């Protein structure tokens, strides 16, 4: 069967058409067409995502992208034209058998645009519509690809490369959570952030360093530059007064005023007994650190080395916390499979540190990361979660689908 997947939960409008097949051991997917309209440039001016602006952009892009995917998949662009334009003759021959749409979590004005669009298509084409949890999409994303064929292995498969329970660390702009996957479709959130998400902290700290939105890749670049330098100079970072501080003309100012000599940030909640995270205090610590550095030198933030130093220590703090809690959960639940997904899963340092941690365990745990193009929001992962939901209950009719900004995994 063919399915149309729609994603509008945040600042990416995504539409895809996939051919899907179910067999005993796996769900198979073939990407017929996929598109993604990013709004990053528009939101960048404001340093973050503006929900009403996101809504406007989704509304603008949805019909255009629908036409594109229908054309690319050779299912007929003209069908789309007559379908979505008001007061046109409606073509009721549907190019797909099923429509799936993100219904939450996310920004409600943005979510509604996808839902309203999907509902209209579902009525006009007379095909079922299934609401999808965006986070379930992220969970499945490591098995996907944005071109060609791919598959999701199912539980019953004895030769399957996966075994349940699987642990998943979801790290994005809106979420930081550890999820125990008892089976596909059966989730238990065992820990989550009590305040800011990891990606959100990256974005906020990037703003303090005058870096553009989204901050994750920007901070990462600076941290990487500093990391390479330390490695090259063979310096143990923990004992190293940062370049920024060493370059201050008068070290006595630091001593007299008890300013930090080494750039060091906290690892909030790292030793808490639960699996929760907190990143808001870390962000505030960066704010105070910049304030203190400016006491010694008001121009300190104009120095690239200062930014690199802060970026490195911030990234180390985030990644150390994420890896520590993930390890604790693996040990407690003895999981043999680990999924890391969401925008922050594109982070190189996180990948390296997760791999290092796994190597030191005395049992083997296999880790799955999404391909780079599927780390961020996209509609391929929504198609995956939507089709999985469909196979679990093929006759269920979803009435009154609505946007749920805080939709939880269960």
Interacting residues with ligand KG4 (CB under 6 A) = 10, 172-174, 199-200, 202-203, 214-217, 220, 342-344, 346-347, 376-377
How many C-beta atoms lie closer than 10 Å to residue 402's C-beta? 12
Of 205, 158, 195, 151, nearest to 175 by C-alpha is: 195
CB of 158 to Zn ion, least distance (A): 33
Q: Counting contacts by CB under 5 A, is residue 172 touching Zn ion?
A: yes
**Least Cβ distance, residue 61 to ligand KG4 (angstroms):** 17
From the list Zn ion, ligand KG4, none, partner contacted by residue 199 (C-beta under 5 to 8 A by kind): ligand KG4
* Min dist. Cβ of residue 183 to ligand KG4 (A): 24
Beta bridge mates, 341:
170
If the CB atoms of residues 165 and 217 are measured against ligand KG4, the closer one turns out to be 217
Distance of CA 93 to the CA centre of its chain: 36
Contacts of 359 (CB under 8 A, 6+ apart): none
Number of residues forming the site for Zn ion (CB under 5 A) = 2
Q: Is the Cβ of residue 203 or residue 377 nearer to Zn ion in the bound state?
A: 377
Question: Binding of Zn ion at residue 248 (CB under 5 A)?
Answer: no
- Answer for the pair 366, 161: CB distance below 8 angstroms, yes or no: yes
Report how far residue 67's alpha carbon sits from residue 75's, in angstroms, rounded to the nearest whole number.
Answer: 10
CB-wise, 172 or 192, nearer to Zn ion? 172
Pick one of Zn ion, ligand KG4, none as the site partner of residue 202 (Cβ within 5 to 8 A by kind).
ligand KG4
In the complex, least distance from residue 221 CB atom to ligand KG4, rounded to whole angstroms = 9
CA-CA distances (angstroms) from residue 190 to 170, 178, 269, 367? 12, 6, 15, 19
Q: Do 109 and 9 form a contact (C-beta atoms < 8 A)?
A: no
Give the bridge partners for 6, in sequence order: 15, 101
* Closest to Zn ion by CB, 315 or 377: 377
Q: Which is nearer to ligand KG4, 51 or 77 (CB)?
A: 51
At its nearest, how many Å lie between ligand KG4 and the CB of residue 402? 19
Judged by beta carbon distances under 5 to 8 A according to partner kind, the member of Zn ion, ligand KG4, none in contact with residue 385 is none
Query: Which residue, 67 or 377, has its beta carbon nearer to Zn ion?
Result: 377
217 contact, one of ligand KG4, Zn ion, none, CB 5-8 Å limit per kind: ligand KG4
The interface with Zn ion within residues 362-391 (CB under 5 A) comprises: 377
Query: CB-based burial of residue 302 (10 Å sphere; 0-12 exposed, 13-18 middle, 19+ buried)?
Result: exposed
Q: List the one residue out of 77, 74, 75, 68 whose CA is nearest residue 35.
A: 68
| CB 342 to Zn ion: min, Å | 6
Asked if residue 174 lies in contact with residue 102, where contact means CB atoms within 8 angstroms, the answer is: no
57 vs 377, which CB is nearer to ligand KG4? 377
- Residues near 393 by beta carbon (within 8 Å), at least 6 away in sequence: none
Closest CA to 126 of 103, 85, 102, 93: 93
> Closest CB to ligand KG4 among 191 and 342?
342
Pairwise CA distance, residues 131 & 119, whole Å: 10
| Least gap, CB of 136 to ligand KG4 (angstroms) | 13
Would you tell me which residues interact with Zn ion (CB under 5 A)? Answer: 172, 377
């Amino acid at each position: 069967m063919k399915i149309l997947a729609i994603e509008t939960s945040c600042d990416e409008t995504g539409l895809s058409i996939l051919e899907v097949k179910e067999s005993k051991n796996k769900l198979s997917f073939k990407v017929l067409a996929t598109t993604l309209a990013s709004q990053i440039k528009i939101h960048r001016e404001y340093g973050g995502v503006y929900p009403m602006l996101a809504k406007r952009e989704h509304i603008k892009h949805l019909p255009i992208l629908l036409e594109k995917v229908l054309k690319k998949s050779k299912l007929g662009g003209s069908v789309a034209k007559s379908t979505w334009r008001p007061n046109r003759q409606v073509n009721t021959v549907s190019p797909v058998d099923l429509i799936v749409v993100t219904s939450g979590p996310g920004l409600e004005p943005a979510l509604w645009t996808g839902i309203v669009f999907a509902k209209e298509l579902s009525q006009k084409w007379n095909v079922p519509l299934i609401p999808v949890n965006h986070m379930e999409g992220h969970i499945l994303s490591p098995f996907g690809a944005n071109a060609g064929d791919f598959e999701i292995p199912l539980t019953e498969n004895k030769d399957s490369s996966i075994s349940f329970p699987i642990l998943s660390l979801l790290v994005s702009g809106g979420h930081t959570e550890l999820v125990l996957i008892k089976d596909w479709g059966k989730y238990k959130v065992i820990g989550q952030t009590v305040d800011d998400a990891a990606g959100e902290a990256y974005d906020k700290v990037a703003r303090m360093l005058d870096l553009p939105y989204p901050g994750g890749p920007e901070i990462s670049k600076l941290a990487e530059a500093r990391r390479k330098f330390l490695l090259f100079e063979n310096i143990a970072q923990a004992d190293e007064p940062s370049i920024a501080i060493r370059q201050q003309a008068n070290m006595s100012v630091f001593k007299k005023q008890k300013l930090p000599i080494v750039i060091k940030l906290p690892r909030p909640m790292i030793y808490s007994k639960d699996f929760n995270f907190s990143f808001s205090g870390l962000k505030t610590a960066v704010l105070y650190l910049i304030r203190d550095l400016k006491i010694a030198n008001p121009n300190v933030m104009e120095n690239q080395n200062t930014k690199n130093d802060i970026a490195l220590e911030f990234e180390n703090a985030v990644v150390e916390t994420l890896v520590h809690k993930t390890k604790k959960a693996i040990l407690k639940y003895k999981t043999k499979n680990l999924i890391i997904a969401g925008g922050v899963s594109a982070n190189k340092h996180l990948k390296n540190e997760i791999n290092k941690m796994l190597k030191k365990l005395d049992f083997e745990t296999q880790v799955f990361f999404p391909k780079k193009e599927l780390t961020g929001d996209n509609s391929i992962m929504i198609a995956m979660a939507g089709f999985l939901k469909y196979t679990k209950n093929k006759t269920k009719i979803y009435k009154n689908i609505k946007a749920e900004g805080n939709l939880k995994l269960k």
